[in-house]
Structure 1
Amino acid sequence: MASEATRALLAGAATLVLALAALTIQTLRIPGHAPHRVVAELRLAQAAAVLLAFSAAFLAGMGASAAGPVAALDMACAVLACGLALMTLVRDPRAALAWLGAAFLGRAVLDLGHALGWLPPVAAPRGVLAGSLVANLCAAACCALPLLRTPLR
């Protein structure tokens, strides 16, 4: 049975990813040539940047719970993800979405590495790692879908 903290983490991640998915759907409904599509992409990129910062905070917490080189790796990746999230706030929305999608994929790879034992273990249960993996993959898809729908400008 999952702990209260595990359930809270998974429910929070699901809520945030569903909110990002709702913004993605709103963005996809706007024709690619419409001027207000850029505004929708900007809002989506900003929301994804905030979600990436939350994901990085979770990664930092996992890193802090482990000792040794895994802590350094997870902390370095968390700082990199936060820096990337901040950098995307001043970029073109489509470029920001591409960078954010790649960052979420990178976060998913880290979760997969921990869950499968390719990286040293962390204190998070496998259910939390699996939930984080799914949340990061869904967030990456939310960032990529608007890019696939219309050609790059």
Structure 2
Amino acid sequence: MALTDKYAELIQAAKTGGISNVQVREQDNILYIDGSTNSGALKDSLWDVYNKIDPDYRAGDLVLNIDASAASGTKATVSTESSNLNIRKGPGTDQPVVGKTAHNEVVLIVSRPNEQWSLVRTDGGIEGYAYSQYLTQS
């Protein structure tokens, strides 16, 4: 089965849900979906569709690269004991780390797809998902 067939529902959701500049390509058995949105909730809804297709995000055959940097939200302080907080590509510990944010650093919460994960953006422009337990809203 081609990856575009496997992820047809996700591709359709991106195209009809308001993602701008949707680009879909397959390379080396990985499907890349790129685009942008001003809604963190819309980006989260795509992860929900993905989770239905690939529960627990285990297949490793999709890169969902949706830029939500235009979204607005609230500020939160990283409240780890002393270490840095990982920022991940998607809402799960199996997702690759795209950056880190320091203890006591303030980040912008773009959205919260669920109680465990928050879509955040640092002042340096790193955007991804952080474990909500380590974020204290300002």
TM norm structure 2 = 0.27
- By percentage of residues, which structure has more helix? 1
Greater RCO, 1 or 2 (C-alpha within 8 Å, sep 6+): 1
- By percentage of residues, which structure has more strand? 2
TM norm structure 1 = 0.25
